[in-house]
Chain A
Amino acid sequence: MTLDARTDMPVSLTVNGRRTAGIVPVRQTLAGYLREELGLTAVHLGCEQGSCGACTVRVDGEVMRACLVLAVQAEGCVVETPEGFSGDPAMDRLRERFATRNALQCGFCTGGMLVAARDLLAREPRPSRHAIREAISGHVCRCTGYEAIVDAIEAASHGGTAP
């Protein structure tokens, strides 16, 4: 058996409800693909080594660092970015509370924070402040000091039960 190792490969996946397909360099991360090929630039690349959380997306229902997944590894997957989640009342509440509580300044971390918060509310509809802090502990914000972000997530969780 001789195996063929590739430097380019076809990939097809569903992103924010739309099917997409193309040929990608195997070296391209999922974050790079979402940003560069699909223009989904709310997926922010901060550290590109899994430390900052700004590129967090949901893949097949689980949150992941899009910089630590290759685009070819998302073959056949359902991916949701901060631009997605349309018609999701819990995400709508999170967005609204982030805005009204001023839970962002520069906005670089916000997309990842929202996806992590949405994931938390799916697992725990009424999380404690401690659980909220745990859930965003992998996300670096250099502006706000986190307090307003925790407030916003807490307020969103009190606005109703997440599905």
Chain B
Amino acid sequence: MRAAPFAYLRPNSLEEVFAALAQFGDEAQLLAGGQSLMPAMALRMARPGVLVDISRLGELRGIALEADALVFGAGTTYSQALRSPLVAEHAPLLALAIPHIAHEAVRSRGTLGGSLANADPASEMPACMLALGAQVVLRSAEGERAVPMEEFALGTYTTAIEPGEILAAIRVPLPETARRTRFREIARRSGDYAMAGAALVSDEAGEARFVLFAVSDRPILVSGAPNLDAVLAGIDTEVEFFPDNHAGIATKRHLAGVLARDLLSRSALKEAA
């Protein structure tokens, strides 16, 4: 099926994006990589009146190393992130996770910012960014604010982005000590949506962040890591499980335990890169 009719606009600057959002209000829909939005439009699940194409905006491009953070322009594609030596050195978790996202022909176009803004609970990037303690930079005509991932993903397809705001960048803080990371996703076939997944970031000081995704309505930071028993207890008490097309609650609860044991067992922690 084809998308319902719409009008199209390709702003040349963020300033024009803000003007478009003000002018078209609820009718406006930002188009980044389009790898979720375009299928949703083809299925008529999304029927935007005006597509505001931000996929070419230079202001949303690039990966930069700052003093205290690795900063991704929201328009960075998965393929660009995967090829980046900065990602390999400072955020290898993303390089572990990205190959699990769909397929090459989708990763070449899908964007980090688009994934976070879309807030699909089965998406890899929100989970990784939560595990990394990232902040999302939201910009509007009035200025900008940084929102920690803990306060950004609010539910299925729901985020802290306010009308008139755009997700402009993602800041991944640089650790003070070396960081080890692990990632695992369980899907029926390569590139499919996850039935369940997990990301782990730990440092030499013994601090660790264990995040589950595709089990609830948002990525969940489970307390207790790196202690396996504490995390398993946290899975029982802190996670509100949601079913989806790929697995029911009982399966997802089981898989959450499998992932925790896999990522947090003593041998696994030693292997973490």
Interface residues of A (CB under 8 A from B): 1-7, 9, 26-27, 29, 32, 48-51, 53, 56, 62-65, 67-70, 72-73, 116, 119-120, 133-135, 137-138
Tell yes or no: B108 within 8 A of A by CB.
Answer: yes
- A1, A29, A138: the one contacting B102 at CB < 8 Å is A138
Supplied contacts A6-B8, A50-B39, 16 more A-B pairs, CB within 8 Å: A5-B50, A7-B6, A27-B2, A27-B6, A48-B1, A49-B42, A49-B43, A50-B106, A51-B39, A56-B105, A62-B108, A62-B109, A65-B109, A70-B53, A116-B105, A137-B103
Write out the residue numbers on chain B whose beta carbons fall within 8 Å of the beta carbon of A134. 99, 190
Counted as pairs of residues, one from A and one from B, with CB atoms less than 8 Å apart, the total is 104
User: Is residue B67 within 8 Å, beta carbon to beta carbon, of the partner chain?
Assistant: no
- Identify which of B19-27, B163-171, B203-211 touches chain A: B19-27
Q: Is the Cβ of B9 less than 8 Å from the Cβ of A138?
A: no
What's the Cα separation between A134 and B240 when bound, in Å? 33
Inter-subunit contact B190/A50 (CB<8 Å): no
B79 contacts across to A, CB distance below 8 A: 62
A133 to B19 CA separation, bound complex (whole angstroms) = 46
**Chain A residue at smallest Cβ distance from B52:** A5
Which residues 164-201 of B sit at the A interface, judged by CB distance below 8 A? 189-191
Query: B interface vs A, CB < 8 Å?
Result: 1-3, 5-11, 15-16, 19-20, 23-24, 34-35, 38-39, 42-43, 50-51, 53, 55, 79, 99, 102-106, 108-109, 189-191
6 shortest interchain CB distances as A-B pairs: A138-B103, A26-B8, A5-B7, A62-B108, A137-B190, A49-B39
- Chain B residues near A2 (CB-CB < 8 A): 23
CB-based contact A68/B19 at 8 Å: no
Which residues of chain A are within 8 angstroms of B6 by Cβ–Cβ distance? 7, 26-27
- CB-CB < 8 A to A67: which residues of B? 38, 42
CB pair B5–A27 under 8 Å, yes or no, is yes
Tell me whether B9 and A6 are in contact (CB under 8 A). Answer: yes
Please give the distance in Å from B247's CB to the nearest CB on chain A: 20
Q: Inside 8 A of A3's CB, which chain B residues have their CB? A: 9, 11, 16, 19-20, 23
